[in-house]
Amino acid sequence: MFYDAEFAFLKNLLKNLYINFTVIEAPASGIPHTLPVFDLGLRSLLYNERDYTRFLTPALQRLNTPNTIFRIQDQYMCNYICMQLPDTQDKFLYLLIGPYVNHKINRQTLLNFAEELSLYPKQFTQINKYYSDLPFLTDEETLFAITTTFGEKIWENTENFSVEYIENTLTERVVPVTSDSDFREPEEAFLSIQVLEKRYASENHLLHMVSQGLMHNAETALSSNNFLLLEQRLADPVRNIKNYCIILNTLLRKAAEQGGVHPLHIDNLSAKFARKIEQITSPDGGPALQKEMVHKYCLLVKNHSMKGFSLLVQKTLTRIDSDLTADLSLKAQARFLNVNASYLSTLFKKETGMTLTDYVNKKRVENAVFLLNSTSMQIQNIAQYCGIADVNYFTRIFKKYMKKTPKEYRLELAQVNRRR
């Protein structure tokens, strides 16, 4: 196909977003002999069938429309995007993206759904887990924009294809299983195999991005991971959200550790989020906090990762970060670490690109900026909090890095705040 490269890129992008897709092949007659499990096992769970031919064949008759992108919602609240691919010679190829959900499906909705289909309790447990693990797209239009961009490539421009919105196209007239005796566990149950594999792969991808300090990638992974849409393990929805936030906090701690951050910094941030988690008062408080957690842990890795540094330099950096008021001179550091001062100076400059004195002064000025922004402390006290007893020396160091004195910085800050 002339668009092989673009098609490969699209499939790789969907994989990275943990969005399922199925390529369906049909002969020129339009009626395939067998069809893949396109819905991640939902119909197999409901009807105990692995043959999907009768489920999808009627739909393909309607979807057999060239140059058209279909946006579909089936009778099970699942969403799909489908298109017939061009230039496939003696066969038809369909790309079916999904399933995914575009709104939260709560327990009451699922109970109504189970009652409507006359499902029995064991099925409901698995159905509940199925929907909790489906990709939840808060911004469905982004996925559609990606798809239409692909459509522009394979059909040359937007004027050469159309978009149709249809409901209940993937509908079938089948009697669901309604008794324990009739129900058989699917051999490849989505919940026990596919979804768990995807969830763990998604979690590992998120943790890897955080360990690298890649903020945008990590936030994308978080939105794809649907951490808040995991199954309701407790009757209290607030406690349920808190527990999943605690799990995420623990995972992010390990990611930061893998990213080379000292436990001192990890523990401080983790404790802060532990308090915030317990302050959640409604399920709606979870998403914003989880996004903040991922954001802050990525910043932690970016600002405090010691990967690539020797053990001696790591110990030096940790001591500096842990107490800026200590005697952090080269001589004092060398004595504390029981090494030669000249050796420490050379090694520190080689690995960090700056002298130990410059690094300490930079950190002290950064702390001073924080205190000027967040407190009304006198400048002399700020200097002492930054480990510099002489306020005049502190002023010179501050001006070297900030191009203005602490007093000038505070006056400018006050003017900015008054204009807001």
In tens, the pLDDT along 223-254 reads: 765 554 555 555 677 888 888 888 899 999 99
* DSSP string of 29-65, one letter each residue: TS--S----TTTTHHHHHH-----HHHHHHHHHHH--
Q: Are residues 250 and 363 in the same domain?
A: no
The dihedral built from the CA positions of residue 177, 183, 187 and 188, taken in this order, carries a sign that is positive
Q: Which of 289, 304, 319 is the last residue of a domain?
A: 304
> At which of 170, 186, 202 does a domain end?
186
Q: What percent of the chain stands above pLDDT 90?
A: 26
Structural domain total, the chain: 3
Distance CA 228, CA 248 (A): 10
Residue 51 has pLDDT above 60, yes or no: yes
Instruction: Tell me: do 290 and 333 sit in the same domain.
Output: no
Q: What SS3 class is residue 240?
A: helix
∠ CA 301-306-310, nearest 5°, is 170
CATH number of the domain bearing residue 376: 1.10.10.60
What average pLDDT score do residues 321-343 get?
A: 92
* Residue span of the structural domain in which 101 resides: 4-186
Do residues 197 and 250 share a domain?
yes
What secondary structure letter does DSSP report for 193? I
Average pLDDT over every residue of 403-415: 91
Residue type, 22: T
When pLDDT is averaged across residues 8-22 and rounded to a whole number, the result is: 85
C-alpha pair distances (Å), 349 with each of 77, 96, 357: 60, 56, 10
Task: Report pTM.
Answer: 0.50
pLDDT tens column, 284-307: 888 889 999 999 999 999 888 888
- Domain end residue (candidates: 167, 186, 205): 186
Residues 317 and 404 reside in one and the same domain: yes
